[in-house]
Amino acid sequence: MLSEKIQTAINQQINEEIFSAYIYLAMAAEADRLGLPGFSNWFKLQYQEELGHADRFFNYVLERNGEVDLLPIQKPEIGGESALSLFEKALAHERHITGCISNLKDLAMSESDHATDVFLEWFVNEQVEEEANAQLVIDQLRLIDGNPNGLFMIDRELANRTISSEA
Ligand code: FEO
């Protein structure tokens, strides 16, 4: 049985993950508008990963005999972006999510909910990867410094991303 506090916090996190999916879907559309199909592919796969994260929290609430409460999803603020600004926003958002996961973990520990604490370990590790993935592309974009050939090469590389079975 989940405590009321933990159940509310996890339902909020389901919302955060679906909002993350929504942001990445908007980014996929924006990248397509910029003529960058590889970037668009990367964001579309990230959108699917985020839905997978929401699903993990959703299933966990049900497994613990809790109640799922689906909250309204806010509109993502994406528009007039460059490839670099999209990834800078992605990294800022992932840092926000890392903070949410840390707060959840603190709550699980303060409530002595060991099952939730262990469940959250996967997300702690996942956030390290999420931030590193966004940072890598930012570093590459800064290296090429707006060079169109470089941008074309990064786009081709991002087109190769496939969905991870772990996500
Ligand atoms: Fe679900 Fe990208 O954090």
Instruction: Please state the domain extents for the chain.
Output: 4-159
Confidence of residue 165 (pLDDT cuts 50, 70, 90): low
Cα(66) to centroid(ligand 1), Å: 22
Q: CA 138 to CA 58: how far, in whole Å?
A: 32
Task: Decide if pLDDT at 167 tops 80.
Answer: no
Please give the pLDDT value at position 135.
98
Phi, psi of 126 (to 5 degrees): -60, -40
Check residue 111 and report its DSSP letter.
T
Please give the pLDDT value at position 161.
87
- Calculate mean pLDDT across residues 71-80: 97
- DSSP reduced 3-state for 160: coil
Cα(98) to centroid(ligand 1), Å: 8
Q: Which atom of ligand 1 is nearest to the CA of 16?
A: 1
> 4-159 maps to which CATH number?
1.20.1260.10
Please give the pLDDT value at position 119.
98
Please give the pLDDT value at position 162.
87
For 85-135, what is each residue's pLDDT tens digit? 999 999 999 999 999 999 999 999 999 999 999 999 999 999 999 999 999
Q: CA 145 to CA 151: how far, in whole Å?
A: 9
**Pair 83, 34: CB distance under 8 Å:** yes
Q: CA 32 to CA 40: how far, in whole Å?
A: 6
Q: CA 130 to CA 125: how far, in whole Å?
A: 9
Tell whether ligand 1 has an atom less than 6 A from the beta carbon of residue 89. no
Q: Average per-residue pLDDT in the chain?
A: 96
Cα(152) to centroid(ligand 1), Å: 26
Q: CB-based contacts of 139: which residues, under 8 Å, 6+ apart?
A: none
Cα(131) to centroid(ligand 1), Å: 9
Task: Decide if pLDDT at 80 tops 70.
Answer: yes
Tell whether ligand 1 has an atom less than 6 A from the beta carbon of residue 93. no
Check residue 80 and report its DSSP letter.
S
**Pair 38, 78: CB distance under 8 Å:** no
Please give the pLDDT value at position 163.
76
Q: CA 57 to CA 54: how far, in whole Å?
A: 5
Tell whether ligand 1 has an atom less than 6 A from the beta carbon of residue 15. no
**Whole-prediction pTM:** 0.95
Q: CA 52 to CA 145: how far, in whole Å?
A: 34
- Calculate mean pLDDT across residues 38-58: 98
For 5-43, what is each residue's pLDDT tens digit? 999 999 999 999 999 999 999 999 999 999 999 999 999
Q: CB-based contacts of 156: which residues, under 8 Å, 6+ apart?
A: 38
Q: Which atom of ligand 1 is nearest to the CA of 127?
A: 3
